[in-house]
Amino acid sequence: MDERTDRSHDTREDFVREDDSWVPSSVLPTPDPQDGWTFRWIRTSTLGHSDNTNVSRKFREGWVPVTREDHPELKIPSDINSQFEGNIEQGGLLLCKAPEEKMRSRTKHFEQVAQRQMESVDSNYMRENDPRMPLLRPEKNTRTTFGKG
């Protein structure tokens, strides 16, 4: 007869595995960073319909399609019937890159546009101000807080 060990002597620690935690894959892979370049996925189609207007506008902004040879670490098949042969396209999105300096300039431009819009809204709001019943000046500062825990 085989001798059995009592299960009460077994502990959970005996069955703990090494750290092989599973992490879900990203829907869109991230290319290895390159100095001086910013990467972005550009929409080429929506619901199976080409969006040539969006692609054309992004190319005029300075975005350039990334070739497969430049990033061999991204081992993904290209979309079926892709019009960007030799580039990295997945799910109607094309991987593109642009010079960091140009994108910083673009960001600065849109921040200035937003600032002018806010000044215009505030000016229009305060135009209705009457000393007999003053309007409250909108608060201009925002604050982000994080919970404790």
Residue 73 domain boundaries: 33-99
In a domain, 133, yes or no: no
In the block, residue with structure tokens 């061999």: 72
In a domain, 70, yes or no: yes
In a domain, 49, yes or no: yes
Say how many C-beta atoms besides its own lie within 10 A of residue 68's C-beta.
Answer: 15
In a domain, 95, yes or no: yes
Q: Do β-strands 37-43 and 93-99 pair in parallel, antiparallel, or remain unpaired?
A: antiparallel
Confidence at residue 17, expressed as pLDDT on a 0 to 100 scale: 60
Predicted confidence (pLDDT) at residue 138 exceeds the cutoff of 60: no
Confidence at residue 108, expressed as pLDDT on a 0 to 100 scale: 94
Predicted confidence (pLDDT) at residue 14 exceeds the cutoff of 60: no
Confidence at residue 104, expressed as pLDDT on a 0 to 100 scale: 92
Beta partners for 49? 46
In a domain, 46, yes or no: yes
In a domain, 23, yes or no: no
Sorting pLDDT into bands at 50, 70 and 90, what band is 109? very high
Highest-confidence range of 23-32, 37-46, 81-90, by mean pLDDT? Answer: 37-46
In a domain, 18, yes or no: no
In a domain, 91, yes or no: yes
Say how many C-beta atoms besides its own lie within 10 A of residue 87's C-beta.
Answer: 18
Question: What is the gyration radius of the CA atoms in the chain, in angstroms?
Answer: 28
Whether this prediction's pTM lies above 0.75 is answered by no
Sorting pLDDT into bands at 50, 70 and 90, what band is 19? low
Q: Please state the domain count of the chain.
A: 1
